[in-house]
Chains A and B, each alone.
Chain A
Amino acid sequence: MYAGHFAAGLALRGRARRVPLTALLFGALLLDLLWILFGVFHLDNTAWDDWSHSLVMSVVWATAFAAFFWRLGRRAFAVAWLAVFSHYVLDLTVQGASLYPNEPRRLLIPILVANHYHLFQPLVCIVLLAVFLYDERRSFLAAWRVWAVCGLVLALNLRFLLGV
Chain B
Amino acid sequence: MRWHQGIIEAAFIVVPILAIRWLLRDEREREGNS
The answer to whether A and B interact is yes
Q: Which A residues have a C-beta under 8 Å from some C-beta of B?
A: 2, 6, 10, 21-22, 25-26, 29, 32-33, 36-37, 39-40, 140-141, 145-146, 148-149, 152-153, 156, 159
CB neighbours of B12 from chain A (8 A): 2, 159
The B interface, classified by DSSP as helix, strand, loop or mixed, is helix
B28 and A39 within 8 A (CB): no
CB neighbours of B20 from chain A (8 A): 6, 10, 21, 25, 149, 152-153
Given A21-B24, A32-B9, A141-B24, does the pair A156, B17 have CB atoms closer than 8 Å? no
1/0 contact trace for B1-34 toward A, CB 8 Å? 1110110011011001101110110011000000
Total number of residue pairs linking A and B with CB closer than 8 Å = 53
Closest to A32 in B: B13
CB neighbours of A6 from chain B (8 A): 16-17, 20
Q: Which B residues have a C-beta under 8 Å from some C-beta of A?
A: 1-3, 5-6, 9-10, 12-13, 16-17, 19-21, 23-24, 27-28
B31 to chain A, nearest CB (A): 11
B1 and A33 within 8 A (CB): no
Pick from B5, B9, B13 the residue with the most CB of A within 10 Å. B13
CB neighbours of A22 from chain B (8 A): 17, 21
Given A40-B1, A159-B12, does the pair A25, B17 have CB atoms closer than 8 Å? yes
Closest to A26 in B: B17
B10 and A36 within 8 A (CB): yes
CB neighbours of A141 from chain B (8 A): 24, 27
Closest to A25 in B: B17
CB neighbours of B27 from chain A (8 A): 140-141
